[in-house]
Amino acid sequence: MHNMLIDGRQKRRIKIIESIITVLGWLYMLGFFVYTILTLVLWYFNINYIYNELFFMQNIFDTLKIISVTVIAAIVAFTIMLGWGQYNYQRFGNLDRRQFPKAVSSDALAEYFKIPIQQVEELQNNKWITLEKTIV
């Protein structure tokens, strides 16, 4: 089996596909940016429209009723989600279900790779290692 290094020379087809994906990614990000700006602008005009249409004295009671119902619904939804989150945390949050493998001794590693125990300890303790040949 030969190991290959990426040296910058790729097939023309792969370069074209990568370029198309890159352009699509940039278009998506640019579109999202334009969408965000457009949303903020339309939101501003919509707030002015709501203010101009709903905040008349003859409609103020209906507006307050709608706002109060919306706030009550938001509080109920928040309370339900908070309660559900607390229940999940109490019920499942403190469980330790992970199973870790048993520790492998240096002797077992030396036997598995068929190398001396000194080499195993050297491989475990040294920061930089130069192998003359692959041990696997």
- Which residues are CB-contacts of 17 (< 8 A; sequence separation ≥ 6)? none
The pLDDT tens digits of the residues spanning 60-101 come to 787 788 889 999 999 999 999 999 999 988 888 877 777 888
CA–CA dist 5, 77 (Å, integer): 55
> CA 83 to CA 47: how far, in whole Å?
33
Is 30 in contact with 37 (CB distance < 8 Å)?
no
Q: Give, in degrees to the nearest 5, the angle at Cα 70 between 67 and 75.
A: 125
What does the pLDDT read at residue 4?
Answer: 45
Assign 129 to helix, strand or coil: coil
What does the domain layout of the chain look like in residue ranges?
12-55, 57-93, 105-135
